[in-house]
Amino acid sequence: MPKSKVAAVLLAAGGATRFGRPKQLLEWDGRPLVAHVADTAWATGLNPLVVVLGAAAERVAPALEGRPLQVLRNYRWEEGVSTSLNVGLAALPPSVEAAIFLQVDQPLITPRFLRALVTRWRESGADIVVPAWEGQRGSPVLFARALFPKLAQLSGDVGGRALFAAHADRLATLPVEDPALLADADTPEEYARLCARPRRTPASFLRPVRALICDMDGVLWRGNTPLPGLRDFFALIAELGLRYVLVTNNASRTPGQYVEKLARFGVTTTTEHVLNSAQAAAAYLAEHAAPGATVYPVGGAGVREALLARGLRLVEGETAEHVVVGWDPHLTWDMMATAALAIRRGATFIGANPDRTFPSEEGLVPGAGSQLAMLEAATDVQPIVAGKPEPVLYRQALARMGATPEETLVIGDRLDTDILGGLRLGLPTAMLLSGIQSREDLARSPIHPDLVFDDLAALVRAWPR
Write down the pLDDT at residue 1: 37
Write down the pLDDT at residue 347: 96
> Which of 165, 166, 9, 164 has its CA nearest to residue 86?
9
* Assigned fold of 6-195: Spore Coat Polysaccharide Biosynthesis Protein SpsA; Chain A (3.90.550)
Write down the pLDDT at residue 303: 92
Q: State the span(s) of the chain assigned CATH 3.90.550.10.
A: 6-195
| CATH, domain range 277-385 | 3.40.50.1000
Q: Rounded CA gap, 11 and 463, in Å? A: 39
Cβ atoms of 381 and 345 within 8 Å: the answer is no
Residues catalogued as catalytic: 215, 217
Write down the pLDDT at residue 334: 95
pTM above 0.85, yes or no: no
Is 100 strand, coil or helix? strand
Q: State the span(s) of the chain assigned CATH 3.40.50.1000.
A: 203-249+389-462, 277-385
Write down the pLDDT at residue 363: 85
Helix intervals (H) in 61-102: 81-90
> Which of 27, 32, 105, 23 has its CA nearest to residue 56?
23
203-249+389-462: CATH class: alpha beta
Write down the pLDDT at residue 4: 57
Write down the pLDDT at residue 444: 85
Q: Rounded CA gap, 220 and 330, in Å? A: 24
In a 10 Å sphere around its CB, with 0-12 CB exposed, 13-18 middle and 19+ buried, how is residue 36 labelled?
buried
Cβ atoms of 422 and 412 within 8 Å: the answer is yes
pLDDT in 10s for each residue of the chain, 465 residues = 344 599 999 999 998 778 888 999 999 988 999 999 999 999 999 999 999 999 999 999 999 998 999 999 999 999 999 999 999 999 999 999 999 999 999 999 999 899 999 999 999 999 999 999 998 999 999 999 999 999 999 999 999 999 999 999 999 999 998 999 999 999 999 999 999 998 889 999 999 999 999 999 999 999 899 999 999 999 999 999 999 999 998 887 889 999 999 999 999 999 999 999 999 899 889 888 888 899 999 988 889 999 999 999 999 988 899 999 998 889 999 999 999 999 999 999 999 988 888 877 788 889 889 999 999 999 999 999 888 998 888 998 999 999 999 999 999 999 999 999 999 888 999 999 999 889 999 888 889 999 999 999 999 999 998
Write down the pLDDT at residue 2: 41
